[in-house]
Amino acid sequence: MQQTIFAHRGASHQFAEHTRAAYLQALAEGADGVECDVHMTRDEELVCIHDSTLDRTSNGTGDVADHTLRELRDLDFSSWKGAGIPVEFGGVADQFLSLGDLLRLLLSAGREVLLAIELKHPSPYGLKLEEKLVTFLMQQGWDPESSTLANVSISFMSFNPDSVKHLLEKVPAHTVCQLVSDVRPAELRAELHLGVLTAAAVIGLLRRALNDGEQNIDSHAAGMAGPGLDYVVAHPARVARWIAEGIRLRVWTVDEPDDVELMRSLGVHEITTNRPAFVRAQLTRSTPGS
């Protein structure tokens, strides 16, 4: 089996995630596809950013949903990484991408490219995010039956089981990936600085969402399963059953040699990585006869 390689937020090991440079580098490294996270701005534009806030990956602050697209374009989303940007990848002001910008970049790739779009929740827009995405793609000329737009084949992902169920009403099931990750109470309490009672409520909601997400996969409602690497290691029997039942697996985020070999040995179909060229080289080395 030849695994399909997705560049996680672009070639984000080298350049700042979700930037023009990261995606152009991913294409240059021969990634089969790229992955992006999508939020909606105050003026209801779809933009490529992982966090619901700006603080970690830009010189701005506050919620993405409280800013317009124009305001976001004025921010610096690349300098925090400390990597120099080649001239052919644009300047600092060119790095922030709307979903439309990313689509145009992929449409000009000169080859077939896969695009995996993750819809981020919780969102202040609720399931309007999914509606906006489908409407936007239709306006661009996307074919919902084949889920293609010229040379770009599009799939959809979410951790939110309600988002997945809503997408299943709008797009082909084989293009929908239910993401899953274990709930780790201690890490959540530390990361979010939650009190005991608040943490218990949040953890309860996340566990219910995980159970519902696993059900979306177990029932074959979603066409793909998207477990994190830690989930694969923690639940080998469940993962093996999914593979045996013919469910396509897209595992994230796989960057180290031992983890690449684990994916190959398990028969995982799709690998999401920050280091696409490195992972391709590792897979080639581990393939008999290569």
The DSSP code for 121 is S
Is there a cis peptide before residue 122, judged by omega within 30 degrees of 0?
yes
The reply to whether 8 belongs to the active site is yes
Task: Please name the residue that has the structure tokens 């943490």.
Answer: 199
Please give the helix or strand (H or E) that residue 241 lies within, else none. helix 236-244
The reply to whether 50 belongs to the active site is yes
Residue tagged active-site, from 13, 18, 39, 50: 50
Distance CA 267, CA 44 (A): 40
Distance CA 262, CA 283 (A): 10
Distance CA 238, CA 225 (A): 11
Please give the helix or strand (H or E) that residue 88 lies within, else none. none
Distance CA 61, CA 40 (A): 16
What distances in angstroms separate CA 285 from CA 32, 55, 260, one per listed residue?
18, 39, 11
- C-alpha R_g of the chain: 19
Classify residue 148 as exposed, middle or buried by CB count within 10 Å of its CB (0-12, 13-18, 19+). Answer: middle
Residue tagged active-site, from 8, 18, 39, 166: 8
Please give the positions annotated as active site: 8, 50
